[in-house]
Amino acid sequence: MLRQYDAYLFDLDGTLVDTAPDLGQALNASLRNAGFPGVTTDQARQWIGFGARYSLSRCQPGTSEAGTSEAGTSEAGTNEAGTC
């Protein structure tokens, strides 16, 4: 028999469970699928909480300091030299 509860809580920010390795794997799958190199778990950990667009933009080639890619699309972050 299934238990019934009055409420269900979700830990989406990693305070109860360290989800950085899983999120890093998901980020790497997206990057590699697009033909880009992957990132380390420590790099991914720094970007968690800012959204997927931000995380992906940190490793996007051609992102300027202003946060705009060569294609002209606005990005949430910039690509720091040597980050990826």
Q: Do 43 and 84 touch, CB atoms closer than 8 A?
A: yes
The two tokens of residue 51 are 């959204």
Q: How far is CA 50 from the centre of its chain?
A: 8
Alpha-carbon distance of 7 to 1, in angstroms, equals: 18
Residue count of the chain: 84
Catalytic residue annotation: 11
